[in-house]
């Protein structure tokens, strides 16, 4: 049982090879993200591209939100030659990384004045390959270690991801300042070699076989091509969802509700964070310095603590702690809103927010990982991760209206209140799991 582990034993999880390896895979996953978003926007604006045109490039992000549609293909389809030598996960990982490198080089070679359409196509290609890589890395992370280690895997993944964001953000700006944007993108393409090397060095996890529960007829050789095609689609797309509800029953609806609501408070608040700092009178330099120093290290510290808590106590109690901390730290922003601008207070609030966010993120990733059946890892986790962000992003779109109508103090109280349903749902699931051991964790 998790609760019987000593603190020393819990912290020792970070010396495991699979856990350390997630730093490099996290770096590979995080590097392309900004290169098709804010860094790309900065490049285009620096080259004189109109803001209205730059705005259209934000649609590239839709690719990350619909990855669940091709996740079943990644779960089921072997790649010629590559799968034989690298295995199911590593082959797709390598293919996605090569696609990202090709796309970044293509963006670097494109002229921002005469070849905007070409840049857009390469950006979509990079986003598609990046989203594909995310699906595969998530599946690899879940399949490669026991459930109790998922928090630690998430923590080291977040560390690598954050380092990549610094490189693709501030690093790309520095290179562009002293060389050019083209050189910057070429350097980023070369940096993706970190992911390639990691993919070749890691060990392919074991895989469960699909049970084919929707296939009724054993003599499949006599089926027509259309029947075979429809059965293949049903096996790839429907089986993962059928299996989830067969395993969890009615409680599956509560689980999906928790997934949809857990990040609601955090994302709702995050939409207005930077405008709030500016409206308080803090300079962009102050905000950047505090966010880089306190934000980066406190998020990493929070993620590391979250990973240890999962090993020490299981997933449910740390999950409750994360939900409570995120809601509570939003109230600190309400205090900041009624206080005189003070850098020390700002640093404390940002530190608390990022620490709680890091804990909640690592624990929640571990929880989502525990919900998957390793026969359908990529498809089920892609569904969960999409459900995790979409409702919160939709609600977050109304954040500005709340601020304009009622002010920042009421908004942050509202953002905190939005987190209460997640706390209630965690308590309900803990009560259910106290009477049942259907899930792998002990609360």
- Give me the residue spans of the domains in the chain: 2-201, 249-434
Nearest to 62 by CA among 139, 126, 133, 124: 124
Average pLDDT across each block of 10 residues of the chain; the chain has 443 residues. List them in order.
61 78 95 88 83 74 80 87 92 97 97 91 96 94 84 88 88 88 96 97 77 48 52 63 81 88 82 76 75 80 88 90 93 90 88 91 87 77 76 69 85 91 93 65 40
Q: What is the largest CA-CA distance in the chain?
A: 77
Q: Collect all residues with Cβ–Cβ distance below 8 Å to 437 and sequence separation of at least 6.
A: none
388 touches 368 (CB < 8 A): yes
Does the CA dihedral 36-126-140-69 come out positive or negative? positive
154 touches 103 (CB < 8 A): no
**Helix then strand then coil, % of the chain, to nearest 5:** 80, 0, 20
Domain range 2-201, its CATH number among 2.40.40.20, 3.50.50.60, 3.40.50.150, 1.20.1250.20 = 1.20.1250.20
User: Which tokens belong to 370?
Assistant: 């525990």
CA angle at 62 for the pair 59 and 64, rounded to the nearest 5°: 135
For residue 83, report the phi and psi dihedrals to the nearest 5 degrees. Answer: -65, -35
**Domain spanning 249-434: which CATH class is it, in words?**
mainly alpha
pLDDT at 218: 46
Q: Collect all residues with Cβ–Cβ distance below 8 Å to 147 and sequence separation of at least 6.
A: 315, 366, 369, 370, 440, 441
For residue 27, report the phi and psi dihedrals to the nearest 5 degrees. Answer: -60, -45
Say if 2-201 and 249-434 have the same CATH topology.
yes
User: Which tokens belong to 131?
Assistant: 């989203």
Q: Collect all residues with Cβ–Cβ distance below 8 Å to 92 and sequence separation of at least 6.
A: 74, 79, 132, 136
Task: Please give the model's pTM, rounded to 2 decimal places.
Answer: 0.75
């Amino acid at each position: 049982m998790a609760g019987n582990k000593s603190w020393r034993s819990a912290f020792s999880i970070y010396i495991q090879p699979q856990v350390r390896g997630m730093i490099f895979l996290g770096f590979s996953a995080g590097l392309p993200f900004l290169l098709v978003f804010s860094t790309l926007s900065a490049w285009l604006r620096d080259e004189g591209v109109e803001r209205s045109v730059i705005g259209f490039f934000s649609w590239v992000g839709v690719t990350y939100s619909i990855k669940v549609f091709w996740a079943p293909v990644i779960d089921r389809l072997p790649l010629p030659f590559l799968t034989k030598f690298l295995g199911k996960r590593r082959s797709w990982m390598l293919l996605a990384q090569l696609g990202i490198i090709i796309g970044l080089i293509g963006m670097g070679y494109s002229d921002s004045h005469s070849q905007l359409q070409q840049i857009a196509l390469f950006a979509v290609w990079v986003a598609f390959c990046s989203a594909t890589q995310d699906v595969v890395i998530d599946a690899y992370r879940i399949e490669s270690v026991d459930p109790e280690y998922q928090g630690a895997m998430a923590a080291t993944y977040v560390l690598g991801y954050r380092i990549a964001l610094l490189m693709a953000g501030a690093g790309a700006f520095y290179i562009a300042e002293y060389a050019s944007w083209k050189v910057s993108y070429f350097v980023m393409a070369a940096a993706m070699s970190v992911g390639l090397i990691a993919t070749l060095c890691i060990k392919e996890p074991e895989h469960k076989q699909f049970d084919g529960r929707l296939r009724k007829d054993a003599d499949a050789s006599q089926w027509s091509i259309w029947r075979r095609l429809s059965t293949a689609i049903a096996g790839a797309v429907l089986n993962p969802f059928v299996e989830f509800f067969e395993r969890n029953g009615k409680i599956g609806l509560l689980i999906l509700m928790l997934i949809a609501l857990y990040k609601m408070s955090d994302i709702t608040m995050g939409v207005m964070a930077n405008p709030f700092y500016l409206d308080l009178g803090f300079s962009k330099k102050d905000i950047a310095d505090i966010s880089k120093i306190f934000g980066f290290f406190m998020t990493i510290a929070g993620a590391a603590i979250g990973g240890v808590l999962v090993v020490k106590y299981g997933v449910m109690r740390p999950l409750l702690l994360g939900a409570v901390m995120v809601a509570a730290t939003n109230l600190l922003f309400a205090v900041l809103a009624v206080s005189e601008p003070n850098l020390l207070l700002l640093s404390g609030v940002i530190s608390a927010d990022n620490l709680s966010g890091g804990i909640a993120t690592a624990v929640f990733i571990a929880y989502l990982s525990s919900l998957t059946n390793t026969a359908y890892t990529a498809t089920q986790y892609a569904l969960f991760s999409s459900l995790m962000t979409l409702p919160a992003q939709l609600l977050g779109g109304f954040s500005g209206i709340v601020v304009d109508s009622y002010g920042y103090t009421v908004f942050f109280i509202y953002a905190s209140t939005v987190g209460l349903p997640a706390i209630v749902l965690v308590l309900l699931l803990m009560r259910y799991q106290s009477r049942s051991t259907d899930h792998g964790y002990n609360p």
